Homo-oligomer: A and B are copies of this chain.
């Protein structure tokens, strides 16, 4: 019989797994799937490379699980916007700030790499197809429509406007260090009515 309580073991297990995923998100975002070596991840997480394989079957599986989480999290964050108080344009501002925020970046970076790499495992491709950009557009449509009705959002085709805005935000975020992050105020000009 184990001396350690099951919860303790579970805690260690969860902790370790979190260490790995945190390290992995960081490294994958920086180096891509190919450029990331298991040894980089385990060094960053402060453990032996062997231990990695107690928690994930392969590098691929780790990548898939990260992408899955990123996909689900990003959708959930968008859906939470509706519960916030404030006008539509204020909510868009909150979303913009959240996306550009340093801490959120790696997740989007991951999604970007998942979307763009040719070497990405089949399962990731499927995930990406299940959660295409159109889905994000769809989720944001009510918010933007309300904004448009209130005169806070520019007139015109909303699908195009939203997907363009997502593209711009994604792009800015993907660039990472080395580029000047545009002020949120400036980016919002893209969606605000042109003639005030």
Contacts and interface: CB of A to CB of B under 8 A. Distances in A.
A183 B164 contact: yes
A46 interface: no
B172 A168 contact: yes
A167 B180 contact: yes
A190 B164 CA distance: 13
Contact of A160 (B118, B173, B183, B189): B183
A196 interface: yes
Nearest to A137: B180
A60 to B, nearest CB: 14
Give the contact-size bracket for chain A.
35 or more
A119 B35 contact: yes
Interface in A35-69: 35
A141 B173 CA distance: 25
Contacts of A32: 32, 34-35
B167 A182 contact: yes
A159 to B, nearest CB: 9
A88 to B, nearest CB: 19
Nearest to A180: B163
Interface string A175-193: 1111111110011011000
Given A32-B35, A164-B183, A187-B190, 10 more contacts: A30-B118, A35-B35, A115-B178, A133-B178, A161-B186, A164-B186, A171-B173, A174-B175, A190-B190, A194-B196
Interface of A: 30-35, 112, 115-119, 133, 160-161, 163-168, 170-183, 186-187, 189-190, 194-196
